[in-house]
Chains A and B, each alone.
Chain A
Amino acid sequence: MKAAVRYIAASAALLIALAPVYWLLTISLKREVDQFAYPPQWIGFAATLQHYRDAFGSGSFGSYFANSVILAAMSTAAALAIGVPAAYGLSRFEWARSWDLKIGDWILSTRMLPPIVTIVPLFLMLREARLLNSLIGLAIVYTGFNLPFVVWMMRGFFDEIPREIEEAAMLDGESRVGSLLRIILPLVKPGLAATAVFCLVVAWNEFLFALILTQTDSSMTLPVGIASRVTQYEIKWGAMSAAGVVAMLPVLVFASAAQKYLVRGLSLGAVKG
């Protein structure tokens, strides 16, 4: 039956997608002697949590993890605080000669800039401001990343709410700010949550800027911490993979919550429908 073939193919694809992740997980749980044993052991090996203890207990990965968390939270909060009002401004008010569209497009186009172009100046700028190797410096940069995205996403959500609702509120005596806080935001809660999740994931996964702008042990994020160990000669794969597993868990949890909005976020709105 044709249906069975399709399910088999889909399952095969699923296996290919998940096998490397699963393998990483097994490495993180295997004793060192087993990690590179031949034939490869997929199941039925003796499990240990030693590598997790090494990485996060005695190793510095605990502080890298904390850095990543703080960074993601800070930059997301900042991006939302600045971007949501901007989206509201673009969506709700009358603009002459479609300036709102022009500004919106400009904001969006900043996302198109290859990071590599701005990274050298940003490195130099932060160095002058003595913000290198600090979470604040990196948080500012990440806010810049996430801002266009927040404005674009939230504007889309705001546009979907009919104006009449606020007009009714204002006839009842509500102010602009009040109507945003008390009426509009509760209506776009799922969209707001999805946008926040995106920002968190972007900040969490980001590597290039973190690599260049934070190089000390106290300021490094999780991806940079992992990278710095991997490029050395003697690689402790157990601790490495334990760190990797912990690094990917929050993302998977968050992303599954925001699954519906993934397409919107990734496609920047050009997919009709």
Chain B
Amino acid sequence: MKTRRIPEGFWWTLPSIVVLVALSIYPLVYAVRLAFGDLGNFTRLAGDHVFGTAALQTIAFTAVALAAEFVLGLALALLVDSLTRFRSFFRAGLLVPMLLPPVVAAVAWRLIFNPQFGVLNGTLRQIGFNTAALTWTNGQNSALLSVIIVDIWEWTPFLFLLLSAGLQAIPPEPIEAARIDGAGPWRIFRDVTLPLLKSTILLALLLRGMDLVRIFDQIFILTQGGPGTATETVSLYIYRTAFRFSNFGYAATMSFVLLAATMLFSRGLMRVMRAR
């Protein structure tokens, strides 16, 4: 007799549900109480220039890094996919930047970017460039770009991996049919490969985009948000507010705005891709 009571599988799942409620749902509720406990937080947020700057910098960072990582990742996926030998060797090597602890990657690049002693300026000087103006992470105007470069180096492999998997999943027959039908390689890419890759592209942009919006680790090590607040993204500002100024309520408010922005981003992206 099939009872309508709790299904047996539920008991197996219960511990996980309990843990997640304790570690995800309850903190979320707690954060809501913190944020909305003092509604003045929201009015303060509306006039907060520092937050506005951080938001703009975060958007700029996300847009540029995502675009670059996508194009490079796709190019790499197509390139490695077309190799006949040593493919797994190349793939393994290309994934290294992504596997490192982000802190280690940031340490390495901080060394590289040092304007006086770093190997980047050093090598450029060797070739003959004048590096006086290249201040990389130390310069007010170049810091954001430098941080973007590090992210591109570190996370392009992620896009590469996902898009590569997507490419492998495309069946070869429609492509052979297109060859017989008379299409050249560029045409085949545009008419057959790209459309069939659409859902993978969406997924890749979504996953990486959401991580970019909340970027923290590398910037913390590379510049700590500086010089000044030139590279302070929203996450870093929240961190500063909560743990330097101990203003937990206001930090919670900002994190909600961040959460809302993340969800808007993902929904907007899905709508755009569905329409194409």
In the bound complex, how far is the Cα of B79 from the Cα of A141, in angstroms?
40
Minimal Cβ-Cβ distance residue in A for B20: A110
The contact of B243 among A93, A212, A263, by CB within 8 Å, is A212
Q: A36-B117, A244-B107, A266-B161 are in contact. Are A92 and B20 (CB under 8 A)?
A: no
35-78 of chain A: CB within 8 A of chain B: 35-36, 38-40
Q: A20 to B112, Cβ gap below 8 A?
A: yes
Q: B9 to A100, Cβ gap below 8 A?
A: yes
Q: A116-B255, A116-B258, A205-B102 are in contact. Are A18 and B93 (CB under 8 A)?
A: yes
Q: B108 to A21, Cβ gap below 8 A?
A: yes
Q: A24 to B251, Cβ gap below 8 A?
A: no
In the bound complex, how far is the Cα of B235 from the Cα of A35, in angstroms?
33
In the bound complex, how far is the Cα of B169 from the Cα of A256, in angstroms?
22
**Which residues of the partner chain B approach A268 to less than 8 Å between Cβ atoms?**
207
Q: A226 to B103, Cβ gap below 8 A?
A: yes
Binds A, one of B40-48, B133-141, B176-184, B214-222: B214-222
| Cβ-based interface call for A83 (8 A) | yes
**Which residues of the partner chain A approach B144 to less than 8 Å between Cβ atoms?**
none
| Cβ-based interface call for A1 (8 A) | no
Q: B101 to A204, Cβ gap below 8 A?
A: yes
- What total of chain A residues lie within 8 Å of the partner, measured CB to CB? 92
Q: B93 to A17, Cβ gap below 8 A?
A: yes
In the bound complex, how far is the Cα of B258 from the Cα of A115, in angstroms?
11
| Cβ-based interface call for A140 (8 A) | yes
The contact of A114 among B80, B100, B101, B258, by CB within 8 Å, is B258
**Which residues of the partner chain B approach A119 to less than 8 Å between Cβ atoms?**
242
Minimal Cβ-Cβ distance residue in B for A245: B104
B115 to chain A, nearest CB (A): 11
In the bound complex, how far is the Cα of B224 from the Cα of A252, in angstroms?
27
Q: B97 to A17, Cβ gap below 8 A?
A: yes
216-265 of chain B: CB within 8 A of chain A: 216-217, 220-221, 224, 235, 238-239, 242-243, 248, 251-252, 255-256, 258-259, 262
B244 to chain A, nearest CB (A): 12
A-B contact number at CB 8 A: 269
The contact of A96 among B7, B12, B108, B224, by CB within 8 Å, is B7
| Cβ-based interface call for A107 (8 A) | yes
| Cβ-based interface call for A165 (8 A) | no
A145 to chain B, nearest CB (A): 8
The contact of B217 among A103, A112, A208, A266, by CB within 8 Å, is A208
| Cβ-based interface call for B153 (8 A) | yes
In the bound complex, how far is the Cα of B100 from the Cα of A222, in angstroms?
13
A261 to chain B, nearest CB (A): 11
**Which residues of the partner chain B approach A270 to less than 8 Å between Cβ atoms?**
199, 203
Q: A116 to B80, Cβ gap below 8 A?
A: no
B156 to chain A, nearest CB (A): 9
| Cβ-based interface call for B27 (8 A) | yes
177-223 of chain B: CB within 8 A of chain A: 199-200, 203, 207, 210, 213-214, 216-217, 220-221
Q: Mark B124-157, 1 if CB is under 8 A from A, else 0.
A: 0110000000000000000000000000010001
4 cross-chain pairs, A with B, having the tightest CB-CB distances, nearest first? A273-B169, A89-B12, A93-B9, A144-B23
- Enumerate chain B interface residues (CB-CB to A < 8 A): 4, 7-13, 15-17, 19-20, 22-28, 30-31, 34, 76, 79-80, 82-84, 88, 90-97, 99-105, 107-112, 114, 116-119, 122-123, 125-126, 153, 157-158, 161-162, 164-166, 168-169, 199-200, 203, 207, 210, 213-214, 216-217, 220-221, 224, 235, 238-239, 242-243, 248, 251-252, 255-256, 258-259, 262
What are 23 residue pairs bridging A and B, where the CB atoms are less than 8 Å apart in the complex?
Answer: A16-B153, A85-B12, A86-B15, A89-B8, A89-B13, A90-B12, A90-B13, A103-B13, A110-B24, A113-B24, A114-B262, A116-B239, A117-B31, A120-B242, A120-B252, A121-B30, A124-B30, A230-B107, A231-B221, A241-B107, A247-B101, A266-B162, A267-B207
- Enumerate chain A interface residues (CB-CB to B < 8 A): 3, 6-7, 9-10, 13-14, 16-18, 20-21, 23-24, 27, 35-36, 38-40, 82-83, 85-86, 88-90, 92-96, 99-100, 103, 107, 110, 112-125, 140-141, 143-144, 147-148, 151, 201, 204-205, 207-208, 211-212, 222-223, 226-227, 230-231, 237, 240-241, 244-245, 247-248, 251-252, 255-256, 259, 262-263, 266-268, 270-273
